[in-house]
Amino acid sequence: MMSCIKKLTLPMLLCFTLVTKAQEKQPVDYADPLIGSSESRWMLGPYATMPFGMVQLGPDNQGSVWKSGYEYTLNNVGGFSHIHSWTMAGLSIMPTVGVLNTRRGPADGPTTGWTTGYRSRVYKETEKASPGYYAVKLMNGDITTEITTSTRAGFFKFTYPQEEKAHILLDLDVPFENTAEVLDGKFKWVNDHEIEGYSKQKWSWQEYTVHFVVRFDKPIEAFGGWIGAKAIKDVKQIAGKGKMGAYADFKTKKGEVIQMQSAISLVSIDQARLNLQTEMDPYNWNFEAVHQNARNTWNTLLSKIKVEGSSEENKKKFYTNLYRSYVARTTWSDVNGKYIDPNEKERQVDPNSPVLGSDAFWNTFWNLNQLWTLVNPDIASKWSRSFLEMYKTGGWLPKGPAGIEYSGIMEASHEISLIVSAYQKGIRDFDSNLAFEAMIHQQTTPGVKTPENGFAGNKYYQSYLKLGYVPNEEGQVSNTLEYAYDDWCVAQFCKALGKAKEYQIFIKRADNYKNVFDPAVKYVHMKNRDGSWVKDWSPYCCTAFDGPGYLEGNAWQYTFFNPHDVQGVINRVGKDEFNNRLNEGFEKSARFNFNADGDLYDLVPINHGNQPNMQAAWLFNYSGKPWLTQKWTREIMSRYYGSTPYHGWLGDEDEGQMGAWYVMSAMGLFETDGGASIKPFYEIGSPLFEKVTINLDPQYYKGKTFTIEAKNTSDENQYIQSATFNDKPLTKPWIYHQDVVNGGKLVLLMGPKPNESWGSKQGDAPPSMSKPK
């Protein structure tokens, strides 16, 4: 082999080097949107989208069911819709040929024949998905459909193999998890190339209008539509409500391509057109250029972290989970900063400070918050400013600002944790005085129903403020723990701002978790208004979705839920009992792959498939057994997370939370307290990769890079033998955030057996509100 290389000329060597580099995978090449796409939620499919894209454009093949949208095992497509945001959908597109059929057809029915609708089977082997791109060939008409996007606009490319009468359908009735009623809809044939319209939609507490503009690179030959079962032909405009849509007709030649561009806005049709022109006109109908822009955008984002060593599968899992951490939440302000506020008023913000919508930030302090504040502080800043914009216009901080409405989804106000964490880490380009005002209001005022039947603020809060806990007669006892954590976050913010009086109030309230800890059983126990403990109770009982009990969990899990004061729990349970109980929970849960299948939360102690105890594996760093943190984080990464469409993650991946947990744990870093303390810190685990390099954002952090080297790491060598931080011995299983972002290197020597003396001594544990007994 060496003799062959010696015979190569310099130009040949140069060519060989260039080819080798061209073949090197980029981070974007590892991210696979099809991973976990079987039994995924509406918000997570193989959709073409940009980071926090307004347009999340992709295939739907199910009906109005839980976890609707795209299901990998179903071999059909019922349309390609623009919005896959929590509780929101809008404007489905479907190319067809031959006799016009305006009925979608059932998801579980045959996909051929007039009576079944326009749904089409697909050639599964043609399906491709990558960040910012999706493609598949439909069996009906053999139409190859390719999709790419900008942030607020979509780009379709339809290739027709035969001369056909082609129809492109625009359907307003989109079935999904929270199927909305179309209250008012309209289509207008503007000119030979363009259609515009809107769909005013309502579901439960949420009412919003999706405005759209669609244009083609070929002249439209005919236009029509339908309302219900009634077809409408040869018109310029269609208006109505309910199940309705429109179509544009074309006559195609063999091998002809029809391209379509579309954009949406919650503000107006003119704003949708502005979004389209601003984001698509620069590309002049060049599909590949738009696709390449999306790919480059994603690659730049994913390249913030470089991993080396380990397996190709682990790299695939790492970058796919990193991708998911930015893919499901939504930008709802337009290119010029206009948006619709919670009171349905048109507002204006700085275009560089978008208004963002999503599901709840319930317990994101154990995943998304810490990833964003470390790797993408600009994103943490944008979310903080978006929260405060909603407070200014609506009067409350939002829990889950879906479509910029007060949803009331999930409990407590954990958006506070993200804002505080951002501030403590030096991300301070938002109005801190306004943030202080918003937090004080949120944490001192009982929540209210909104006019739309949503909810703003905290439920059961009047009782919490009066009693110091949520009584069993009223709601979930677990809310007490969540409220107390937010109180601690506010206390830390007050301390940082020099608000001594307010600090004392909230740091005292941070102790309220103790009010529901029963010393007789050493668990968080349901408590009546009169102060008595609920009888007929067990540590595994009483999962609740509304009313008394433990929200999506049980007493076993919530007893460990105390992000700001793990030591306080250890003091009350006892260190030995704490460690034995927790370790036994992991051993029992391992055979379930740490997931309560079917939402049976009472049955599995460690349920990584839901939020309440995603921190559990990291708690051994506090209890003198950090090697068990190293062991069990590795087990979760191996068993719970997969790399196929059928096994990407188990349970309910809420808009990137499980993805972000994997990324942080694979790097060997975590923040149990959510990074909201005055001096934020990271706990240390067992990195998967030999080397991780985080490229730090120079706008916020002065260090250029932070690297983590895990020497000899492997599936067998998962235990830390010794550590150095910036060439100095490190004997504790945690490091300060400020030291990390100043740049430097954490080096861990890994081995096959635990070093039980490393990080386990009295005083080695990370900081907690309480001191050890």
Per-residue pLDDT, averaged over 696-708, amounts to 97
pLDDT exceeds 80 at position 122: yes
pLDDT on residue 15: 45
Q: What is the mean pLDDT of residues 117-121?
A: 94
Which has the minimum average pLDDT: 14-23, 150-159, 426-435, 658-667? Answer: 14-23
pLDDT of 11 strictly over 50: no
Please give the pLDDT value at position 14: 44
Residue 632 resides in a domain: no
Whether residue 339 is contained in a domain is answered as no
Pairing of strands 719-725, 705-711: unpaired
Whether the per-residue pLDDT at 12 is higher than 50: the answer is no
- Tens digit of pLDDT for each residue in 414-452? 999 999 999 999 999 999 999 999 999 999 999 999 988
User: Does residue 9 lie within any of the structural domains?
Assistant: no
Asked if the structure places residue 13 within a domain, the reply is no
Q: Is the pLDDT of residue 513 over 50?
A: yes
> Within this chain, do residues 290 and 438 fall inside the same structural domain, yes or no?
no
pLDDT at 241: 96
Query: Are 46 and 114 found together in one domain?
Result: yes
Q: What is the mean pLDDT of residues 624-628?
A: 98
Burial of 575 by CB count in 10 Å (0-12 exposed, 13-18 middle, 19+ buried)? Answer: middle
Three-state secondary-structure class, residue 321: helix
Is the Cα dihedral 546, 552, 557, 559 positive or negative?
Answer: negative
How confident is residue 4, by pLDDT bands cut at 50, 70 and 90? very low
Domain that residue 458 falls in: 351-623
**Contact between residue 678 and residue 424 where contact means Cβ atoms under 8 Å apart:** yes
Boundary residue ending a domain (285, 300, 315): 300
pLDDT at 584 exceeding the cut of 50: yes
Task: Flag whether 185 is in a domain.
Answer: yes
Does 16 have pLDDT greater than 50? no
Please indicate, yes or no, whether residues 537 and 470 belong to a single structural domain of this protein: yes
For the ranges 48-52, 61-65, 108-112, 516-520, the lowest mean pLDDT is seen at 108-112
**Are the beta carbons of 405 and 206 closer than 8 angstroms?**
yes
In terms of domains, do 231 and 370 share one? no
What mean pLDDT is predicted for residues 309-337?
Answer: 97
Residue 534 has pLDDT above 70, yes or no: yes
From 607, 623, 639, give the residue that closes a domain. Answer: 623
pLDDT of amino acid 730: 98
The encoded tokens of residue 759 equal 């990080």
Q: Is residue 759 part of a domain?
A: no
Q: How confident is the model at residue 113, as a pLDDT? A: 53
* CATH number of the domain within which 213 lies: 2.70.98.10
Quick check: 17 pLDDT over 60?
Answer: no
- Determine, yes or no, domain membership for 276: yes
Asked whether residue 525 falls in the same domain as residue 394, the answer is yes
Asked if residues 42 and 75 have their Cβ atoms less than 8 Å apart, the reply is no
Alpha-carbon dihedral angle through residues 42, 43, 49, 52, given to the nearest 10 degrees:
160
Residue 240 confidence class, pLDDT cut points 50, 70, 90: very high
Residue 752 φ then ψ, to 5°? -85, -15
- Between 20-29, 206-215, 386-395, 537-546, the lowest mean confidence (pLDDT) is in 20-29
pLDDT band at residue 115 under the 50/70/90 scheme: low
Q: C-alpha angle with apex 62: 60 to 67, nearest 5 degrees?
A: 95
285 & 371 share domain: no
Average pLDDT, integer, range 104-124: 79
* pLDDT surpasses 50 at 735: yes
Q: Residue 21 pLDDT more than 60?
A: no
The per-residue pLDDT of the chain, averaged, comes to 94
pLDDT score of 498: 98
Asked whether 93 and 169 are in contact (CB, 8 A), the reply is: yes
Residue 22 lies in a domain: no
- Closest among 262, 183, 242, 249 to 222, alpha carbons compared: 249
Query: Is pLDDT of 261 > 60?
Result: yes
399 and 287 in a common domain: no
The 10 Å Cβ neighbour count of residue 520 is: 7
Helix pair 368-375, 415-424: axis angle to 10 deg: 30
CATH code assigned at 380: 1.20.1610.10
Short-list 318, 268, 316, 260, CA closest to 290:
260
* DSSP alpha helix (H) spans, 625-693: 626-639, 657-667
Domain boundary among 623, 644, 666: 623
Task: State whether 205 and 293 are in the same domain.
Answer: yes
The token duo for 361 is 């930030």
| pLDDT-derived band at 597, boundaries 50, 70, 90 | confident
Can you tell me the distance from the alpha carbon of 185 to that of 207, in angstroms, rounded to the nearest whole number?
13
- CA torsion through residues 32, 57, 659, 550, sign: negative
Q: How many domains is the chain partitioned into structurally? A: 2
Q: State how far the Cα of 600 lies from the Cα of 130, in Å rounded to an integer.
A: 33
CA distances (Å), origin 317, targets 254, 382, 638: 41, 27, 10
Contacts of 482 (CB under 8 A, 6+ apart): 411, 412, 414, 561
Q: Is the same domain home to 167 and 274?
A: yes
> In terms of Cα–Cα distance, which of 659, 741, 744, 692 is closest to 304?
692
pLDDT band at 545 (very low <50, low <70, confident <90, very high): confident
Residues ≥6 apart with Cβ < 8 Å to 18:
none
Q: Are residues 140 and 81 in the same domain?
A: yes
DSSP secondary structure string for all residues of 584-641? HHHHHHHTTTT--GGG-TTT-SS-TTSGGGTTGGGGGGTTT-HHHHHHHHHHHHHHT-
Continuous segment of H or E residues that includes residue 305? strand 305-308
Quick: pLDDT tens for 276-296.
999 999 999 999 999 999 999
Tell me: do 466 and 596 sit in the same domain.
Answer: yes
Q: Up-side HSE of residue 193: CA atoms within 13 Å toward CB?
A: 10
Same domain as 174, residue 101: yes
Kindly indicate the confidence band of residue 601, based on its pLDDT and cuts at 50, 70 and 90.
confident
